[in-house]
């Protein structure tokens, strides 16, 4: 049935174009967030002066995946993150035993990125009400994630905040976040300062969407139920979106403990491959080959009407973690051998290049990324 607007367009010979979905139209305003972050950092920067030297001195500026504090000749790496709106999918599916894995993963993977070995994490659970079943299922995921990462969860906090937390299932509203710590020798902090042209980017396979871009992916739920089965996925949409974020700790720590010359470690989270720029190098990058993205990414692009530029800005597109390794000698070969022992799918996806503007070229998608966005080449 045509609306009056449709009829007007038909008479004028115009074709109605479906509105494109983006992170912003889904409710995540990255530009406002960036502006707010600058204000936040401006104020918090002053706190660094309280520990100008010695124990407690902060080793890195703001902006990396984690920071490092001097605790007496050793670096204590620290990072914090949550699960985001993936918790709404858990409520829709009434399944809560995996989001704890996501919480651990989002934190320990970030701690890895400064060259640290994760040791422990504390959790914060805010609930609509202290539902024993919910808390028990969340604990199962936290335990599974901790065992996979080889860390402890020695403490945590539960807050009953009924007036704040609502959710989509009565009595099951919650939020989940964590803070992880690890250690790294002060002279081995990795932030990419030694990257040079031709150094190799190795990409490790993701398990799917992980815990980023779920707000945009939930646009699919305007058309489908969380329980809708997709043949391309081999399971329901909700089951796919709940697939836990991969934890990369054991394999990456083994690489770090070897004599491989690792230049940088990058967790591909929100901002997608733009995260390659969250290092201290003066290079750009060319990504020349990528594995086929998981089917869920094609479904989001098609069914939620998302541009390819936005897909690569928001999602990992099949690669959840990257290592930048020296192109000299046999460092790449030895890294791949270590990762193979851990049964990790590893791909040589690109190289660092001399690029004064620090841009990222994604050749398979014909995109160039800089200034916080991707554009067609």
CA distance 133 to 227: 21
**What SS3 state is found at 8?**
helix
Least reliable range by pLDDT among 3-12, 212-221, 350-359:
3-12
**pLDDT at residue 28, rounded to an integer:** 64
Predicted confidence (pLDDT) at residue 266 exceeds the cutoff of 60: yes
- Which residue, chain included where needed, has tokens 């902060």? 58
pLDDT tens-digit series, residues 236-264: 999 999 999 999 999 999 999 999 999 99
DSSP state of 55: T
pLDDT tens-digit series, residues 146-202: 999 999 999 999 999 999 999 999 999 999 999 999 999 999 999 999 999 999 999
In DSSP notation, 332-374 reads HHHHHHHHHHTT--EEEEEEEEE-TT--EEEGGGTEEEETTEE
Predicted confidence (pLDDT) at residue 322 exceeds the cutoff of 90: yes
Predicted confidence (pLDDT) at residue 2 exceeds the cutoff of 60: no
Q: What is the mean pLDDT of the chain?
A: 92
- Region 21-36: mean pLDDT is 67
Confidence bin at 357 (pLDDT 50/70/90): confident
**pLDDT at residue 37, rounded to an integer:** 83
Confidence bin at 19 (pLDDT 50/70/90): low
Going by C-beta distance under 8 Å and a sequence separation of 6 or more, which residues neighbour residue 4?
none
CA distance 194 to 273: 20
Q: Determine the angle formed by the axes of helices 99-112 and 86-93, rounding to 10 degrees.
A: 160
Predicted confidence (pLDDT) at residue 36 exceeds the cutoff of 90: no
Q: Calculate the CA dihedral of residues 67, 63, 149, 205 and round it to 10 degrees.
A: -150
CA distance 314 to 25: 13
Predicted confidence (pLDDT) at residue 11 exceeds the cutoff of 50: no
Query: Rounded to two decimals, what is the model's pTM?
Result: 0.91
CA distance 8 to 15: 10
**pLDDT at residue 4, rounded to an integer:** 37
Confidence bin at 6 (pLDDT 50/70/90): very low
Confidence bin at 14 (pLDDT 50/70/90): very low
**pLDDT at residue 313, rounded to an integer:** 95
**pLDDT at residue 140, rounded to an integer:** 98
Strand order in the sheet with 367-370: 262-267, 319-325, 200-205, 346-354, 283-287, 360-362, 367-370, 373-376
**pLDDT at residue 1, rounded to an integer:** 34
Q: For 167, what's the count of Cα atoms within 13 Å in the CB-facing half-sphere?
A: 25
CA–chain centroid gap for 88, Å, is: 18
Predicted confidence (pLDDT) at residue 289 exceeds the cutoff of 80: yes
Provide the token pair at 34. 């960036």
CA distance 273 to 365: 12
**How many helices, marked H, and strands, marked E, lie in the chain?**
11, 15
CA–chain centroid gap for 124, Å, is: 19
């Amino acid at each position: 049935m045509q609306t009056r607007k449709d009829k007007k367009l038909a008479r004028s010979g115009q074709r109605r174009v479906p509105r494109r979905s983006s992170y912003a139209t889904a409710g995540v305003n990255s530009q406002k967030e960036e502006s707010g972050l600058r204000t936040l950092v401006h104020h918090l920067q002053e706190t660094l002066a309280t520990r100008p030297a010695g124990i407690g001195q902060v080793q890195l500026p703001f902006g990396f995946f984690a920071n490092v504090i001097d605790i007496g000749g050793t670096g204590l790496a620290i990072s914090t993150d949550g699960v985001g709106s993936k918790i709404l999918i858990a409520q829709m599916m009434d399944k809560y035993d995996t989001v704890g894995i996501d919480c651990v993963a989002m934190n320990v993977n970030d701690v890895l990125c400064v060259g640290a070995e994760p040791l422990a994490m504390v959790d914060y659970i805010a609930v609509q009400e202290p539902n024993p079943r919910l808390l028990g299922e969340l604990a199962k995921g936290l335990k599974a994630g901790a065992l996979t990462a080889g860390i402890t969860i020695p403490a945590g906090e539960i807050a009953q905040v009924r007036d704040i937390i609502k959710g989509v299932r009565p009595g099951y509203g919650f939020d989940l976040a964590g803070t992880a710590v690890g250690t790294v020798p002060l002279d081995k902090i990795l932030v990419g300062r030694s990257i040079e042209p031709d150094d190799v980017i190795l990409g490790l396979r993701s398990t799917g969407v992980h815990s980023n871009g779920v707000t945009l992916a939930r646009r699919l739920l305007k058309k489908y139920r969380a329980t809708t089965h997709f043949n391309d996925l081999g399971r329901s949409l909700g089951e796919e979106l709940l697939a836990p974020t991969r934890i990369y700790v054991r394999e990456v720590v083994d690489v770090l403990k070897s004599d491989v010359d690792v230049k940088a470690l990058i967790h591909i989270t929100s901002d997608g491959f733009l995260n390659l720029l969250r290092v201290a190098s003066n290079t750009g990058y060319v990504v020349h080959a990528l594995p086929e993205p998981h089917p869920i990414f094609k479904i989001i692009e098609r069914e939620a009407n998302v541009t390819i530029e936005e897909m690569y800005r928001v999602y990992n597109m099949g690669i959840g973690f990257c290592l930048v390794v020296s192109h000299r000698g046999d460092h790449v070969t030895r890294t791949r051998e270590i990762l193979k022992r851990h049964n990790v799918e590893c791909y040589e996806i690109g190289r660092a290049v001399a690029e004064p503007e620090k841009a990222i070229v994604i050749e398979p998608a014909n995109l160039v990324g800089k200034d916080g966005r991707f554009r067609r080449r």
